[in-house]
A and B are shown apart, each in its own frame.
Chain A
Amino acid sequence: MIRAVIVMNTQGKPRLVKFYDFQPPEKQQELIRSVYGVLSERADNVSNFVEADAIFGPGTQLVYKHFATLYFVFVFDSAENELAMLDLIQVFVETLDRCFKNVCELDMVFNFNKMHMLLDEIIFGGQVLETSSEQVLKAVEEIAKLEKSSSAISLVPKSVSARFGR
């Protein structure tokens, strides 16, 4: 199972944080800091895997990829294939890239809830849901369309928006 997805910049500022097993906010911040502590000390030419036993408990590993100013970090346990997780990061980033047209850190900052929408279409409760960015984008676009149309509706009286549904 995937335990957490963290996107942070190279200064350690979190940009997207999703824990699939509940962590209180203080604990979340602590975990983010320790992950950053580990990542920031790793050289470029080393493997993408880090044993995360000390941070997330026994049996956990962490895989990360470094893109421009961002670290994409997936934390997972022994039930996942390490190399597949690496590919999943690739899928996630490619999807973001297609969604935002050359994604950059700023896109992520201002659209963090769209990011969540997207992530929820790829990983569902810690399990891989979809690996085709095509499918993910389609789902996200549908949702966005739905939001737009209902936002327009919500400007008119509530009674009207109640009709929305089919």
Chain B
Amino acid sequence: MNPFSSGTRLRDMIRAIRACKTAAEERAVVRKECAAIRAAISENDQDYRHRNLAKLMFIHMLGYPTHFGQMECLKLIASAGFPEKRIGYLGLMLLLDERQEVLMLVTNSLKQDLNHSNQYIVGLALCALGNICSAEMARDLAPEVERLLQTRDPNIRKKAALCSIRIIRKVPDLAENFMGPAASLLKEKHHGVLIAGVQLCTDLCKASTDALEYLRKNCTEGLVRILRDVSNSPYAPEYDIAGITDPFLHIRALRLMRMLGQGDADSSEYMNDILAQVATKTESNKNAGNAILYECVETIMGIEATSGLRVLAINILGRFLSNRDNNIRYVALNMLMKAVTVDFQAVQRHRTTILECVKDSDASIRKRALELVFLLVNDNNVKSLTKELIDYLEVSDQDFKGDLTAKICSIVEKFSQEKLWYIDQMFKVLSLAGNYVKDDVWHALIVMISNAPDLQGYSVRSLYKAFQTSNEQESLVRVTVWCIGEYGEMLVNNVGVLEMEEPMTVTESDAVDVVEVALKRHSSDIKTRAMSLVALLKISSRFPPTSERIREIVMQHKENVELELQQRSIEFNSIIQRHQNIKSSLVERMPVLDESTYIGKRVGSSQATLPADKSSRPTSGSPGASLKLPNGVAKPPPAPLVDLLDLSSDDVPAPTSSATDFLHDLLGGDLMSPSSSAPSGGAGTDILMDLLSIGSPSAPTDVSIRNTISSNQGNAGEPKTAPASVMDLLDGLPSNSSLPGDKNPIYPSITAFESSTLKVTFSFTKQPGKPQNTMIQATFTNLSSNTYTDFIFQAAVPKFIQLRLDPASSSTLPASGNGTITQMLSVTNSQHGQKALAMRLRIVYKVNDQDKMEQGQINNFPPGL
């Protein structure tokens, strides 16, 4: 066979490579061969050049570098012999690409070979050009190719036609040169030329609108004739695939019809008949027949077809869906996706079949079908579809559950008409595939539950039941823990039982059991554990008898490696053990979460921000609760303002900056220049008022503020009563609220706020060297004859100021001025000297268990703060 005898032959090399047992051996053989080939190249060996290149191509296929052989391709192409040229062109196509400079050198050889008298050499050159043609080559060689479109040999004509496609793709401007020749190709009888010609026309239509118009005018008729001939033609074994005559020509012709008929009523009209014929007469028991039908459907959908034809097309797809062949079902789903936008109702009729495809054993089909079902959901069918999908969720493959869950959740969220249904569906999903539910989905569920007071009892009981059977589902566990923390008593006392509910008895310790399981569950991550700890703290106040047990559970985490859990554990222990008096107010139920804010946040922020900080700051899971407690008691300082204001969510990446940003938003920029905002009632400041009242149960009793500067005297002695009651939350740590009394106050004290029932005075101290920082001691005096309990002071400042509230000295304010509460505020004015301090405050307290609230704005700060 092989004319060469010396050196290793190609066969031998392949054999040697195949004999290699390891990759290292293979590399060694290849290295040796490459070295020999390089040597031959440098000796400019002519006899073995084409054999060497053949070897290089094999080596290239295995993934080794072969760039050194590129010039050899050019030399072979330039040589006269056919075998050399053939290998040369093959090497050109495999080893080089159009971006390489070397390619420039080959243009001339190509030109010569395109004009060669041997048709096979012309064929080789065309083939190479069709594979690697660059824009420059396209310009240089287009005339040759154009001429070849009219040669006598059909094999050359068809190759030239396909080569033209490449040229047009590289240089669309050349399209007009090819319009005429392409149109005349459609008059051919030779099947291969027709396929190539139709394909060329299709590409011309894509490349230029001129060509599209030209072909629409001149070829529509010819094209219809081609299709009619081929579909009516008798059995022709040569082009027959599985009994269908020339499916490829069918398909190409149908595709070109789509290009021509798109948006053009006249030509569409002209095509209707033949399309109907193909759609009805083509046999559908073979793959080739189905390929034609499939293409025909796409064309009918693409052109301005009559509605009858469209129904026919969708019905073909419907038949495809029930085909036993996976491939047919797959393409049918693909096409239905496209058809949904054209004819929604027609696709809707096949909904049940499509739903069956969601349960297919084939992953590709399942995925497609699920996407399609998602497109088909509307208000009428959402319930039945969701039920089907959820039923299937139970038995579906593990790797499909993620997709399926995400789609179900988004269907349920998008189409839920009633809260009960939404909650029910979400619970089902959580218990079946809770591990696949995204964070933002269950966050949304919690917001929803919080907004549905009459369903909270039902929710917590359902979750309790679900937890008993599927406590391995992470997000189910989290939602359950959260709900038990918030609505635990509804679980135990059977509050708000719905009609369809079965009665159940849950004891207080059962509820604690659930949270304890969640906390100790092996697979729980830190977020779940942190949520569990908070829930335990909350339950301990709802169910006092369990308090001691909860303290023991909490204390098990005092040496946890996770700093966050450890710290919470110690803090909560301290709260349970030593601060019974404030505990109940500390852990009151969260106010209703604001849905619109949450939705806004969900849309605005990426999901990624949600999970991260939840784990790091578990108590912020109940930010609203902190509205009810003395500032700063529940958690270490800089956060309280954040919690105070950021009611609806727990994602606070950087507490201080976020707090100030938030305030900035709140104040609407008005307070940025306090001089202009000082007169109360500006739009921006109203927003702040609104915000502060979110979640507050009592109506604000707005009081006018008396901006009187009072002397320091009246309050000077009072702070001394306070320090004893400052709470040290972390056992053993000394109280750090030092009294500013011994420092010289440079600034006069002011009465920041005064109403008929309450008076607040501020006294100021500055540390030397830090003019921006001001320590403010707020002193609260009760002017009424009733004792105030659950006393909370809150303050908000504009963006350029940072505020830190230290714990208040007490939460109880005795009546008639028989004692005071003091609280330290630390203020940093970042624009010290340019802008004066400004602050809004709100005070919440209880009188005989009645909620009271007072609020006001302070603009009488002494200058120079």
Q: Is the interface of B mostly helix, strand, loop or mixed?
A: helix
Shortest Cβ distance from residue B292 to the other chain A in the assembled complex, whole angstroms:
8
Check A29 for interface membership: any CB of B closer than 8 A.
yes
Shortest Cβ distance from residue A7 to the other chain B in the assembled complex, whole angstroms:
10
Check A103 for interface membership: any CB of B closer than 8 A.
no
Considering only residues 347-386 of chain B, those with a C-beta below 8 Å from chain A are 361-365, 367
Q: A125-B163, A151-B3 are in contact. Are A83 and B158 (CB under 8 A)?
A: no
A136–B752 CA distance with the chains assembled, in angstroms? 97
Which residues on the A side are within 8 Å of B130 (C-beta)?
124-125, 127
Flag B55-79 by CB within 8 Å of A: 1 or 0 each.
0011011111110000000000000
Flag A45-56 by CB within 8 Å of B: 1 or 0 each.
111111100000
- In the complex, the answer to whether A129 meets B196 with C-beta atoms within 8 Å is yes
Of A29, A84, A142, A165, the contact of B248 (CB 8 Å cutoff): A84
- In the complex, the answer to whether B86 meets A117 with C-beta atoms within 8 Å is yes
Which residues on the A side are within 8 Å of B255 (C-beta)?
79, 81
Of all chain B residues, which has the CB nearest A158?
A: B80
A109–B116 CA distance with the chains assembled, in angstroms? 32
Q: A84-B251, A131-B248, A132-B192 are in contact. Are A154 and B3 (CB under 8 A)?
A: yes
- In the complex, the answer to whether A131 meets B54 with C-beta atoms within 8 Å is no
A43–B326 CA distance with the chains assembled, in angstroms? 12
Considering only residues 70-95 of chain A, those with a C-beta below 8 Å from chain B are 79, 81-84, 86-88, 90-91
Considering only residues 3-19 of chain A, those with a C-beta below 8 Å from chain B are 14, 16-18
Check A40 for interface membership: any CB of B closer than 8 A.
no
- In the complex, the answer to whether A113 meets B57 with C-beta atoms within 8 Å is yes
Binds A, one of B327-335, B423-431, B455-463, B644-652: B327-335
A130–B159 CA distance with the chains assembled, in angstroms? 10
Check A157 for interface membership: any CB of B closer than 8 A.
no
Check B11 for interface membership: any CB of A closer than 8 A.
yes
Shortest Cβ distance from residue A100 to the other chain B in the assembled complex, whole angstroms:
14
Flag B244-259 by CB within 8 Å of A: 1 or 0 each.
0011100110010000
- In the complex, the answer to whether B86 meets A25 with C-beta atoms within 8 Å is no
Check B182 for interface membership: any CB of A closer than 8 A.
no
Shortest Cβ distance from residue A115 to the other chain B in the assembled complex, whole angstroms:
11
The 9 closest A-B pairs by CB, nearest first: A125-B130, A83-B291, A22-B97, A47-B326, A29-B63, A46-B362, A124-B162, A47-B330, A131-B248
- In the complex, the answer to whether B239 meets A165 with C-beta atoms within 8 Å is no
Check B770 for interface membership: any CB of A closer than 8 A.
no
- In the complex, the answer to whether A127 meets B66 with C-beta atoms within 8 Å is no
Of A17, A88, A113, the contact of B87 (CB 8 Å cutoff): A113
Shortest Cβ distance from residue A49 to the other chain B in the assembled complex, whole angstroms:
5
Which residues on the B side are within 8 Å of A135 (C-beta)?
192, 238
Considering only residues 127-146 of chain A, those with a C-beta below 8 Å from chain B are 127-132, 134-135, 139, 142-143, 146
Check B120 for interface membership: any CB of A closer than 8 A.
yes
Shortest Cβ distance from residue B804 to the other chain A in the assembled complex, whole angstroms:
50
- In the complex, the answer to whether A14 meets B241 with C-beta atoms within 8 Å is no
Which residues on the B side are within 8 Å of A139 (C-beta)?
123, 155
Shortest Cβ distance from residue A145 to the other chain B in the assembled complex, whole angstroms:
10
17 residue pairs A–B, Cβ–Cβ below 8 Å = A25-B60, A46-B326, A79-B255, A81-B255, A82-B330, A84-B295, A87-B247, A124-B127, A124-B162, A125-B130, A127-B196, A128-B252, A130-B158, A147-B82, A161-B81, A165-B116, A165-B117
Q: Is the interface of A mostly helix, strand, loop or mixed?
A: helix
A17–B63 CA distance with the chains assembled, in angstroms? 10
- In the complex, the answer to whether A127 meets B54 with C-beta atoms within 8 Å is no
Which residues on the B side are within 8 Å of A17 (C-beta)?
61
Shortest Cβ distance from residue A11 to the other chain B in the assembled complex, whole angstroms:
12
Flag B113-156 by CB within 8 Å of A: 1 or 0 each.
00011101001000100111000000000000000000000010
Shortest Cβ distance from residue A84 to the other chain B in the assembled complex, whole angstroms:
5
Of A48, A125, A150, A154, the contact of B166 (CB 8 Å cutoff): A125
A32–B116 CA distance with the chains assembled, in angstroms? 37
**Chain A: residues with CB nearer than 8 A to chain B?**
14, 16-18, 20, 22, 25-26, 28-29, 32, 43, 45-51, 79, 81-84, 86-88, 90-91, 109-110, 112-113, 116-117, 120, 124-125, 127-132, 134-135, 139, 142-143, 146-147, 150-155, 158, 161-162, 164-166
- In the complex, the answer to whether B82 meets A146 with C-beta atoms within 8 Å is yes
Of A18, A47, A81, A116, the contact of B295 (CB 8 Å cutoff): A81
A46–B326 CA distance with the chains assembled, in angstroms? 6
Which residues on the A side are within 8 Å of B166 (C-beta)?
125
Q: A47-B327, A147-B86 are in contact. Are A129 and B162 (CB under 8 A)?
A: yes
- In the complex, the answer to whether A82 meets B331 with C-beta atoms within 8 Å is yes
Of the listed residues A20, A25, A43, A139, the one surrounded by the most CB atoms of chain B closer than 10 A to its CB is: A25
Check B290 for interface membership: any CB of A closer than 8 A.
yes
Which residues on the A side are within 8 Å of B330 (C-beta)?
47, 49, 82
Flag B709-739 by CB within 8 Å of A: 1 or 0 each.
0000000000000000000000000000000
Check B534 for interface membership: any CB of A closer than 8 A.
no
Q: A47-B326, A165-B117, A166-B118 are in contact. Are A129 and B159 (CB under 8 A)?
A: yes
Shortest Cβ distance from residue A119 to the other chain B in the assembled complex, whole angstroms:
10
Shortest Cβ distance from residue B257 to the other chain A in the assembled complex, whole angstroms:
13
A90–B327 CA distance with the chains assembled, in angstroms? 14
- In the complex, the answer to whether B291 meets A81 with C-beta atoms within 8 Å is yes
Of all chain A residues, which has the CB nearest B290?
A: A83
Of all chain B residues, which has the CB nearest A21?
A: B97
Check B165 for interface membership: any CB of A closer than 8 A.
yes
A150–B50 CA distance with the chains assembled, in angstroms? 13
Of the listed residues B163, B252, B291, the one surrounded by the most CB atoms of chain A closer than 10 A to its CB is: B291
- In the complex, the answer to whether A155 meets B3 with C-beta atoms within 8 Å is yes
Check B14 for interface membership: any CB of A closer than 8 A.
yes
Which residues on the A side are within 8 Å of B195 (C-beta)?
128-131
Q: A48-B327, A49-B330, A83-B287 are in contact. Are A130 and B97 (CB under 8 A)?
A: no
Of A16, A32, A84, A154, the contact of B247 (CB 8 Å cutoff): A84
Of all chain A residues, which has the CB nearest B330?
A: A47
- In the complex, the answer to whether A125 meets B131 with C-beta atoms within 8 Å is yes
A132–B249 CA distance with the chains assembled, in angstroms? 11
Which residues on the B side are within 8 Å of A162 (C-beta)?
80
A165–B120 CA distance with the chains assembled, in angstroms? 10
Of B84, B86, B295, B327, the contact of A143 (CB 8 Å cutoff): B86
Check B199 for interface membership: any CB of A closer than 8 A.
yes
- In the complex, the answer to whether A150 meets B83 with C-beta atoms within 8 Å is yes
A20–B162 CA distance with the chains assembled, in angstroms? 13
Check B90 for interface membership: any CB of A closer than 8 A.
yes
A49-B330, A130-B192 are known; give 20 further A-B pairs, CB within 8 A: A14-B62, A20-B131, A32-B63, A46-B364, A47-B329, A48-B327, A49-B331, A81-B291, A86-B287, A86-B327, A124-B127, A125-B163, A127-B162, A129-B159, A142-B120, A150-B81, A154-B3, A154-B83, A154-B84, A161-B80
Shortest Cβ distance from residue A152 to the other chain B in the assembled complex, whole angstroms:
8
Which residues on the A side are within 8 Å of B246 (C-beta)?
131
- In the complex, the answer to whether A83 meets B83 with C-beta atoms within 8 Å is no
Of all chain B residues, which has the CB nearest A48?
A: B327
Check B564 for interface membership: any CB of A closer than 8 A.
no
- In the complex, the answer to whether A125 meets B331 with C-beta atoms within 8 Å is no
Which residues on the A side are within 8 Å of B84 (C-beta)?
154
Shortest Cβ distance from residue B332 to the other chain A in the assembled complex, whole angstroms:
10
